[in-house]
Structure formats: structure tokens, C-alpha cells
Amino acid sequence: MSSDRTDMSLIALRRILRATELFGRDLAKSAGLTPVQFRVLQVVAEKGWSTAKTISMRMGVSQATITSLVDKLVDKGMVKRQRSEIDRRQTDIVITEAGHHALDEAPDALQQRFVKKFEGLQDWEQAQLVASLERVAAMLDANAMDASPVLHSGDIMPRQ
């Protein structure tokens, strides 16, 4: 009985990993973005602009990581940097037409599907699911890993 449950839990984990992997491939093919770059673009698109600090706080990663991700988006022409009109010492990250197009063409984000369904759960179900997922992360000794709220199986910043 116990080994059946063990197998079932490993199969469920594998399905989750596979779903994130397939989404990453689809996103790379359709929009030329990684899931993490896509999330940065989504955050910028919410208001049409943002700052590296705001994105960093939203995603739970360092400003240096965000700067590197934004550099890649600038190289792809999806965002641009410009001086803030409010505070000239600050640099805003602004979405471009190409960035909007990439968001429109991208497949339905895996995490958005999750969020929609998760938020539809009863409060007690959400709490139970969070506790279970945190327990799984602890079982895998993954508590200290850098983990922004992006369903992506690889590193946030691929090694160069």
C-alpha cells in the first residue's frame, strides 16, 4: 500500500515537472522567451512600465537578477529603459509594441492557469495545498533554493 502511494506521488511530481518543461518549450517557440523573462514582461505590462526594484520585490529575486533579465528583454526589443518623468534619477523599464505582441502570442501561462484554479479553492483547501507543497519542498531539501513565483523547472538565470 505504501509503495503504491509513493509511486503515485512520484508520478504526480513528474507530471508537474513535465508540464513546466513543455510550457517552457512552447513559450520559447512562440515568443522566444523563457518563463522567467515572460513573467518579467507581464509585470512590466501591468502598468506599461515598472522599475527593477519593483519587479525584484514582486518576483522575490535580487535586483541584479532582474537587471540581467531586463538586459535580455531589451536585446530582444521587448522593453526599453528610459529616465523616469517623476524622478529623473530613476530608470523606468517600459514595455514596447514588440513586448505586447509577445505577450499576445504566448501560450496561456501555466502559472496563470494554476492561479485561477487555486484562487477558486476554498480557503481551507488553499491552506492544505500550500502546507503539502511546502512539505514536499522540505522533503526534497529545496527550502533554501531561489524560487520566484514562476513555474519553471530550470535556473532563473541560465549559466552563461
Distance between CA atoms of residues 124 and 137, nearest Å: 20
* Of 97, 60, 65, 61, nearest in space to 80 by CA: 97
Distance between CA atoms of residues 84 and 19, nearest Å: 39
Q: Write down the pTM of the prediction.
A: 0.70
Residue 144, SS3?
A: coil
Distance between CA atoms of residues 37 and 31, nearest Å: 10
- Record: fold of 2-139: Arc Repressor Mutant, subunit A (1.10.10)
For the chain, domain boundaries: 2-139
Per-residue pLDDT of the chain (160 residues; tens, 9 = 90+): 568 988 998 898 899 888 888 888 888 888 888 888 988 999 999 999 999 999 999 888 888 999 999 999 999 999 999 988 888 888 999 999 999 999 888 877 777 788 889 999 999 999 999 999 889 888 888 776 665 555 555 554 544 4
